[in-house]
Amino acid sequence: MTPRPRLLGLATAVPPHCLKQAEVIARAERLFDRDASEIDRMMGVYGNAGIESRYSCVPLDWYEEPRGWTEKNRLFLVHAVDLLERAAVDVLKQTGLDPAEIDGIVVVSTTGIATPSLDALLMERMGFRRDVWRLPVFGLGCAGGVLGLARAAAMAAASPGQKILYLVVELCALTFRRSDQSKSNIIATALFGDGAAAAVVGPGDGPEIAAWGEYCWPNSLDVMGWRVEDDGLGVIFSRNIPAVIRAEFRSAAEGFLGRHGLTLADIGNFVCHPGGAKVIEALEDALGLARGAMTEGRAVLRDFGNMSAATIMFVLQRALGAGPRGRRLLSSLGPGFTAGFLLLE
């Protein structure tokens, strides 16, 4: 039997500017053009987000002026590659590998456009082989965190003995559009932060990646995503996301586990992308967990905010650091409306 791929190492990185939620609230009160009573009501979103701090590749003052798509994407390219390099260097050091020993690279991001792709840009800085396999993945949003790791595992499983570098970076803070007065944009400013992560998948020691899969709900294209506007990416959030999770997530998770001869009772640790405070509560309800059970997800949301696809890797890092807790189910939700699943044993 061919050995299953393993998670050999995991590293994370954040940009230098730490944004305290109290500071963001004070700035948002000035930036949003609404009457005082409406502003006061909307500020509750920030207080109820479960977030104390986030990180941004640009300082808070940067948001004072209108910014166009060209400037935002230029900053995305600069800072995304910087963060990916930091995370990649850290995970290679952690695993004792040289860049030349990496056989494939999977890169996930949905908050900017890169052509040549981010992996190609990173190759100009690090000593990867020129024949390394490359798979850039765009458009999966938050679900990309789990699904990108799944693609890396699939590549490693298809070529036993090969080592795959998985990279994910999201610069959500750059997507703020000052011209957008919608409630979705206000919620985004209360939640989003920047971050990156790197992992190595292949033969060796570490948790075994036993299975992976996904589920895309029908008639759900308007639940979550981006609109491309002149001044950047406009966020799409349905107010029904928590309700959809409570009604639909459990059956999708049970379907995935059932295909591998497992049930929810076989899972010792649910490692879920937190999304936001209401999303965590909905996930706990859907899975029949006590309120507050997803301690790692809540801690990452508190300290880093929602970093889209990168967030799940921060949650996994904390879960692994907490020690053995049996079989782990990773999950994240993103545009489509899509759930990504992955089993670690």
Q: Mean pLDDT of residues grouped by 10 in the chain (345 residues)?
A: 89 95 74 60 69 92 86 96 98 97 98 96 95 96 96 95 97 81 71 95 95 94 83 78 93 97 96 92 95 94 95 97 89 94 97
The CATH number, out of the four listed (3.40.47.10, 3.40.50.300, 3.40.50.150, 3.40.50.2000), of the domain defined by the range 209-344: 3.40.47.10
CB 158 within 8 A of CB 151: no
Please choose, from the candidates 249, 250, 246, 283, the residue with its C-alpha nearest in 3D space to the C-alpha of residue 265. Answer: 250
Tell me what pLDDT residue 280 has: 94
Q: What is the pTM (predicted TM-score) of this model?
A: 0.94
The phi and psi torsions of 307 (rounded to 5 degrees) equal: -100, 30
User: Read out DSSP for 242-260?
Assistant: HHHIIIIIHHHHHHHHHTT
End-to-end alpha-carbon separation of the chain, Å? 17
Tell me what pLDDT residue 239 has: 81
Say which of 142, 172, 216, 272 is annotated catalytic.
142
May I ask the CATH class of domain 6-202? alpha beta
C-alpha 8: how far from its chain's center? 20
Tell me what pLDDT residue 43 has: 64
For the question of residue 18 being annotated catalytic, the response is: no
Tell me what pLDDT residue 32 has: 66
CA distance linking residue 269 with residue 287, whole number of Å: 11
Domains 6-202 and 209-344 share a fold: yes
Kindly list the domain boundaries of the chain, sorted by start residue.
6-202, 209-344
